[in-house]
Structure 1
Amino acid sequence: MQTNDKAKTASYHADSQRYDTMKYNRSGKSGVLLPAISLGLWHNFGFVDNLQNARAVLRCAFDLGITHFDLANNYGPPYGSAEENFGTLFKKDFKAYRDELFIATKAGYDMWPGPYGDWGSRKYLISSLDQSLKRMGLDYVDIFYHHRPDPNTPLEETMGALADIVRQGKALYVGISNYEPEATQKASKILKDLNVPFILHQARYSMFDRWIENGLLDTLEDNGVGCIAFSPLAQGMLTDKYLKGIPENSRAAKDLTFLNKETVTNHTEKIKQLNAIAEERGQKLSQMAIAWILRKKQVASVLIGASSANQLKENVKALDNLNFNEEELRLIDGIV
């Protein structure tokens, strides 16, 4: 049951100074500038969550100059509920600011029963985006992603669907997520030949998870495509949450799919050592982890989640110190 969905709050007027301090980076060679920190609605925005808290987080984000909100068809829980809640809040608070926002959604994971509700067919991608636009109350999204590679559908079909979505006016730009370098190169060529603006690759990246350093960042740079990094805090490990053990109500304590007690225990000593470096820099560990990713020239933005406005403000403070000296980078590499 959704909570507080009928609660009333004062009408929203965005902070007039919202663009004064946020840093914006160009996405590849496109005309798009993204905030260095973007807000992901993967968690905390579903029907199981408090709608007024979600509203406070979104308002805080925009007031801080965060113009990019990232969703997907199956975010929730339940599936679709993050988009529906976002649509409710967009109508109430952000409709007047639509042209200042860069809104993303995706399709590629399990969404509905049957053979057409998963992976990367033309049928699935176009149907899914139509559903997403209806849930959010939007005429178009700024970028639509294929969420993961489909090993069984020809890449030409998947990329062709993205091209037609742009031509239909349902998305301004397209992106892909979780693609390896070779598939990214092929996708880029297909989209270039189709004259479709492919501007972003969304990839998992943190100090603990460096798979995109396998050549993907170079591939993106060669093709003029930006990178937006998700899970920058390694599901919460790169914060001060686990410095003194595993709290009862933490994600790790619940042994969820993306984080469990064993993983945290195996990383505890590294977390403590990294935290010591962050303290020397005058930062929290989470802030240093975000700054560490943003030092890569290919990274246009870091995608973070937030359970509260205060947590969001704390993470945005990462932008106060983005510089690393060689010794700091050497120490970090030595630890992880």
Structure 2
Amino acid sequence: MSRSERRSSGVAGVMRAIWALTAVPLFAFVLALLVGAIVIVLSSVLVLKNPFDPTLPISAYAALAQGAFGSFDSVVSTLVLTTPLLLAGLGVAIGFRAGLFNIGAQGQFRMGAVGAVAVAIHAQQFPAAIAITVSLLGGMVVGAAWGLVPGLLKAISGAHEVVTTIMMNYIALAVLAWLVSGPLQQPGSVPPTTPSVDIASLPILLGRSGHIGILIAFLAVPMAWFLLFRTTRGFEIRAVGANPDAARYAGIKPKRLIVLTMSIAGLLAGLAGACTVLGISHTMNPTFSTSVGFDSITVALLGRSNPIGVMLAAILFGAMRAGAGPMQINAGVPVELVDVIQALILLFLIANVVSQRHQRHPGARPVFSIC
């Protein structure tokens, strides 16, 4: 084979890999947009005057895109909202690669934020660089510990991670409420909040709100890819996810990998929580919560458990979140449409997985696989 033929073959292989990674998610996204357009038309008060006006969804999606990418500040806002989704999504994706359906990213996210705030409160006397570093590490350690628990339960007793991680989500919510209303409460604050952790606030790199967490999140992408596809440990994680019995016969210890993988997932979700509280809110209340943990599951699914795909999916979801407000203001479409689109994407992705499984194994039990 000549050099030009090898080059052409290599390019074709790369294109096939890109298509394999993006075809189904892209189809799910486009289909979700089409269904979302129908929802816009049917729910608009203008539909009674002009039942099939195509400008309704077009104006809504145009306002959404304008709000996400229409200016430098809009792009920065998109990147800020992408950051926690990307970090938590990478953690969920690594779990998926090991065959673990981690529903606990929400709890790990919350506890990571709690850990970061707790450390930052006690690091007020340190220089800012040290306070920021130890606060981020605190969030990572607490998040990893929160992921470690369901990992140990699965490894020791076989308890399913879906059940245990959901349980840990509720425990995290209760622990958060207790800490913010007690040991971490700012004296005299009503409703109770933690002291502001300005000393550990993440440095701003872009515009007025583009903190350094953006850089941390995007640096985590090649690190996660290298871990999964260029290290022995990553091969073992993927082997356990593909076939635990075969991995065991090959000398791999699945239980150890389960504990390690859940800890890594918790670490990344905890880092997402730390970046959120140190980069955006700087304080917490008993109901401190976003949908980051649950949205990260959809991000990992849309990214096909591949770090590059997760990055693209996180940017997409961050853009939809950033553009939701301008869409409501400029087009009169409620921000909840973004939730509808995200739910539809998840629905179509799962439908595709189930369909593929039944085509390969007619009559088989519908066991979920996401890699």
The TM-score range, normalised by the shorter chain, is: under 0.3
What is the TM-score of this pair, normalised by structure 2? Answer: 0.20
Name which one, 1 or 2, has greater alpha-carbon Rg: 2
Relative contact order higher in (CA < 8 Å, ≥ 6 apart): 2
Greater percentage in strand: 1
Greater percentage in helix: 2
What is the TM-score of this pair, normalised by structure 1? Answer: 0.21
